[in-house]
Homo-oligomer: A and B are copies of this chain.
Amino acid sequence: MTHETGRLYGLGIGPGDPELLTLKAYRILRSVPVIAYPTMENGKVLARAIVADFLRPEQIEVPMPLPFSPVRSSQPYYDIAAEKLAEHLSAGRDVAVLCEGEPFLYGSFMYLFNRLSSKFQTEVVPGISSTMASAAALGVPLTYRNDVLSIMPATLEADILRDRLAVADAAVIIKLGRHFSKVRDVLSELGLLSRSLYIERATMPNQRIVPIADIDAADVPYWALIMIPSLQTSVT
């Protein structure tokens, strides 16, 4: 007996507010038999929490233990997760992997995609990235007309951050965490501090918007970013 294999979905579920799921992500989330999501070493299961109210009791849940931030050494974790998903897919069950924000923008889904998409039908459903949600939450337009927007992780070395920020019309620096002081120093050097806006956990219940001058560097979470909106903001 042969049967069709299941379909793999990389489901963008947005930055935190459950209402920022798309209609498409919601439909797929409600209809697939298997839901997979990362569980971090630090005990956080953020992706599942975002959609908790939408899950149905008969759905099979597949927690995937993953290290907090993807690095080379994390690849064995993805091997194990991919094997788990492949079992369900081979048995003909569709699997939706919950992806915070947008799956193909700095997402860990890519490591599963690279392992499974050649073997199983795979579809990525785009999601609202936290960078976009942050502009809305801050109430500040990000880019106009001819602007170049650069998105970069705070993990970069100071001199690379400096070079990239120097030529951007607008920028978003993501994953601040313990890199905050380094980023603040670079922004100060470039004279960009007064244009910089800080936000933590955009659209989540504990969203926090604070002037950069008031921030304790020891207290900056991974889910914090700095946005430098276009100078053209003053155009009317």
CA distance A236 to B111 in the complex (A): 6
Q: Determine whether the beta carbon of A21 is less than 8 Å from that of B19.
A: no
- Given A122-B139, A235-B114, A236-B115, answer yes or no on A167-B156 (Cβ-Cβ < 8 Å): no
Taken together, the copies of this chain in the complex come to 2
Residue A90 interfacial (CB < 8 Å): no
Residues 19-51 of A at the B interface (beta carbon under 8 Å)? 19-24, 26-27
Q: Count A-side interface residues using an 8 Å CB cutoff.
A: 65
CA distance A132 to B131 in the complex (A): 12
CA distance A125 to B235 in the complex (A): 21
CA distance A45 to B151 in the complex (A): 31
Interface stretch of the complex, out of A97-105, A181-189, A209-217: A97-105
Residue A5 interfacial (CB < 8 Å): no
- Given A14-B22, A22-B19, A125-B136, answer yes or no on A146-B142 (Cβ-Cβ < 8 Å): no
Contact with B along A141-179 (1 / 0, CB 8 A): 111111111111101100010011001100000000000
Complex interface: chain B residues within 8 A of A128 (CB) = 22, 126-128
User: Min CB distance, A85 to chain B, in Å?
Assistant: 15
21 A-B residue pairs with Cβ-Cβ distance under 8 Å, sorted by A, are A12-B132, A18-B23, A19-B24, A21-B23, A23-B23, A70-B144, A70-B145, A71-B145, A102-B135, A104-B136, A104-B140, A104-B142, A106-B143, A106-B147, A110-B144, A114-B233, A146-B155, A148-B156, A150-B168, A163-B167, A167-B167
**Which residues of A are in contact with B by a Cβ distance under 8 Å?**
10, 12, 14, 17-24, 26-27, 70-71, 75, 102-107, 110-111, 113-115, 117, 122-129, 132-133, 135-136, 139-153, 155-156, 160, 163-164, 167-168, 233, 235-236
